[in-house]
Chain A
Amino acid sequence: MQNRIKLLREELGISQGKLAELCDVSRQTINAIENDKYDPSLPLAFAISEALEVTIEQLFQYERKNSE
């Protein structure tokens, strides 16, 4: 799953720490998601999209794995 959190966060001019505070998680969690170390749960994904004032679709791009 690709995400545009860093890009949108920087456009709004807010730090990882501020976004973390808005979503009630640690800065390390936001950093891990931005660097694709893990995909957040749906409630956290919605919290991030709300904080960044975008929809989930604008925030995350799902890449289907092509097994053929």
Chain B
Amino acid sequence: MKIKHWKMTLTGAAAFIVLATVIYRTATEKDIGFNDIASLGAVTILFLSALTWGTKEDRDGVREDEELGRRITEQSSKVGYFILTLFILVAVGIDQWVHEKPSLLLLALLGLSMVTLPFIEWVHMRKYRAAED
């Protein structure tokens, strides 16, 4: 069995167990806390990572540490950032619809998410700015 398949099987099983636990806790009206959501997020990240990347040993796909892998990561990061901002915008909209007044915390988060990319671009640009003579 290839390393990728081992990783997918193990992380997939772990993700399934954590998801089943969260669903069970919801169904039995038990509280779902930070640990449940963080665990679910962590195992999902591991599973998707195993699903996406190949290994050098088995030569079964694009590797995370090679040129195309880094390019995929860069492009996905930017797309992911915009989707996350959109999710926060939707959350603000739903919050306003439910409570008739949006949460200040969500609004602050939306504002922060909107300025994060241009701010980081500005910081990066400064690294490449040549010193004037």
Residues of A within 8 A of B (CB): 17, 20-21, 24-29, 32, 38, 40-41, 44
Contact = CB atoms under 8 A, between A and B. Distances in A.
Contact of A44 (B61, B67, B69): B67
B72 to A, nearest CB: 10
Nearest to A20: B59
A29 B59 contact: no
Contacts of B69: 26
A28 to B, nearest CB: 5
A41 B80 CA distance: 24
Interface size band for B: 10 to 19
Given A27-B59, A29-B66, 14 more contacts: A17-B59, A20-B59, A21-B59, A26-B54, A26-B63, A26-B68, A28-B62, A29-B62, A29-B67, A32-B68, A38-B68, A38-B71, A41-B67, A44-B67
Interface string B37-77: 00000000000000000100001011100111101000000
B66 to A, nearest CB: 5
Contacts, number: 30
B66 A25 contact: yes
Contacts of B61: 26, 28
A24 B59 CA distance: 10
Instruction: Give the one of B59, B62, B67 with max A CB within 10 A.
Output: B67
B59 A26 contact: yes
A26 B67 CA distance: 9
B26 to A, nearest CB: 40
A32 B66 CA distance: 13
Nearest to B66: A25
Contact of A24 (B54, B66, B68, B71): B66
Nearest to B68: A29
